Structure 1
Amino acid sequence: MSVAPIDALSPAVGGCYRDGVVTVRRRGTTAPRRLGAARTPHFDLGRDARGDLVVEHSLTLERVDDDLAGLLSDELFEPGWLRGAEMFERVFTGVVLTCAEDPEVAWEAFYANTLAAVGAHARAGVPADGARPDGHGCVRDYAPVYAQAESLVRPGSVLELGSCFGFLALRLAASGRPVTASDVSAGTMRLLSAMAPRFGVEVDTLTCDAAHVPAPDGWADTVLAVHLLEHLEPDHAGRVVAEACRLAARRVVVAVPLEDTPSEQFGHLWAVHLDALRAWGAAATGWRAEVHEHHGGWLVLDRA
């Protein structure tokens, strides 16, 4: 039986999110443990009377941000209570939506808290050894990645491939740049389009495969593919790099996490190493390629 796709702007009626796969509810911080439920520091996991999966949480509007990814990974997915990227996305969406009656209010708090945290970590700096005391998938992990990407963007327009929530696109747009965000998920682009005006910035959006972008050659001065290619099969990833070169007038910036094992819960399909970045750079005819490490691997391509 097919289930409905995730709708990030669907209200959680009565504080309860149901999508046919999982039910997510918010509970009080002092609520007793439900019979038969497993409790972690932030979540209860169990089944309801019908046997459907139920996740309960105690997060609030003041506390919800993209560190939720780290909490879910550390407490529910890495221990093996839950599996799979789709389940991760459904639980993630349910937790955010159940923090407020109005879905846009919930997501605005999520975006505002995340952008504030990214800014705070960027100002404070991150330990050079890459230590991650807050766990995997946390804001402090990608704050230096965003800072590095922003430092590599050339003057002029920017196209980001695989934008997901679009935090980087929003930061770039806030600096006054013309920015287009793209993603294969129509729901994610719909969410970003709803959020950008709430932060006083303009971000154009495109829903498309990053290997087939409906735009002319040299359309943007800089094209970004930041933590995208690990989500794609290797051949598909290579086509995205080639498409980025077609679309970029001046520079292409690629960033990947350097993992020993791909993180399944985040939808990583393979562990991208520096050799892959070098191979993509060598295949880019008419471009100067530079590969380096900085909280992950980077490939920077400039038109020769």
Structure 2
Amino acid sequence: MSLTTLTLGADGRVRHRVPPDRLSNDLAGWIARDLVAPGLLRPNAFEQAFVSVVLSTAWRPVVAWESFYRNTLTALAAGGDPGGTNAGMAPVQQRATELAVGPDVVELGCCFGFLALQLAAAGHRVTAVDIAPGTVRLLAAMAPLLGLPVHAVAGDATAAPLADRCADTVLAVHLLEHLPAGVDVLVLAEMLRLARRRVVVAVPYEDVPDVAWGHVRTFDAAALHRLGASTGHRYRVADHHGGWLVIDR
């Protein structure tokens, strides 16, 4: 078994040889490739397998997670290893950072918060929102260790616990593909409620939803144009490692 090969034991536990210095968000791609795609692991068990591998790399959870975060941020800054998850994320997050305007930024559906941390490193005051309380607690614990201030908040992207017009830019990067059809309109309305200046949406372009990543629907440029036009605001759609919808107020 190579360092980046994962197997599932007879006891249902993931077997790996991932050393702490290789631990990063590339792990997500390895699990999808080695366990979910061949049918060895159900997509709904993805998160549990992911966490179990991370925690197995160090004697204390905080040490394991800090290595995971630091290695991922370093890999994203360098562009990631070819074909890896970080390599796929890097240009998307770089573009999102370039599109953020103003000092105050909100990210909806932040997951681990790598984009939020990059935005903080770029000098923005960042509030990161995710529906999973555990993920929010993890980000809140890691951000101070990394020296990157991020305000992490648990909340639904359709009803964030934040004030009207609280941010210059509001982002939802690779969130909408995880939500059922029709919810995208609700999320966009919430983003417009929160944004003073700009809304940024990014989605992957797929022929079919990638269930290994929890995707439930697909988007194309036409769908983004319909979404933008429904708001009545000035908008533009662009392609860059997927599709982008940018709305300026």
What range describes the TM-score normalised by the shorter chain of this pair?
over 0.9
Match of 1:293 among 221, 226, 239: 239
TM-score by length of 1: 0.79
Displacement of 1:113 after TM fit? Answer: 0.4
Q: Distance in 1 between matches of 2:7 and 2:94?
A: 35
Deviates more, 1:264-273 or 1:219-228: 264-273
Within 5 Å, which residues of 2 pair with 1:152-191? 152-191=99-138
Q: Which amino acid aligns with 1:177?
A: H
Q: Distance in 1 between matches of 2:104 and 2:224?
A: 24
Is 1:46 aligned with 2:9? Answer: yes
| Number of residue pairs the alignment of both structures matches | 249
Q: Which amino acid aligns with 1:191?
A: L
Is 1:121 aligned with 2:79? Answer: yes
Q: Distance in 1 between matches of 2:25 and 2:4?
A: 17
Two-structure CA RMSD over aligned residues (Å): 1.6
Unpaired runs of 5+ in structure 1? 1-28, 31-39, 123-131
Q: Which amino acid aligns with 1:227?
A: H
Displacement of 1:204 after TM fit? Answer: 0.4
Q: Distance in 2 between matches of 1:299 and 1:76?
A: 33
Identity %: 49
Q: Which amino acid aligns with 2:29?
A: G
Q: Which amino acid aligns with 1:205?
A: A
TM-score by length of 2: 0.96
Unpaired runs of 5+ in structure 2? none
Q: Which amino acid aligns with 2:58?
A: A
Which residue number in structure 1 is paired with residue 223 of structure 2?
276
Is 1:111 aligned with 2:72? Answer: no
Runs of 4+ in 1 over 4 A off after TM superposition: none
Which residue number in structure 2 is paired with residue 26 of structure 1?
none
* Structure of higher CA gyration radius: 1
- Structure with bigger helix share is 2
Asked if structure 1 preserves the Cα contact closer than 8 Å seen for 2:103 and 2:123, the reply is no
Displacement of 1:215 after TM fit? Answer: 1.8
Is 1:83 aligned with 2:42? Answer: yes
Q: Distance in 1 between matches of 2:115 and 2:129?
A: 12
Deviates more, 1:294-303 or 1:263-272: 263-272
Q: Distance in 2 between matches of 1:207 and 1:233?
A: 20
SS at match of 2:246: strand
Within 5 Å, which residues of 2 pair with 1:1-304? 42-48=5-11, 53-84=12-43, 86-121=44-79, 133-134=82-83, 138-285=85-232, 287-303=233-249
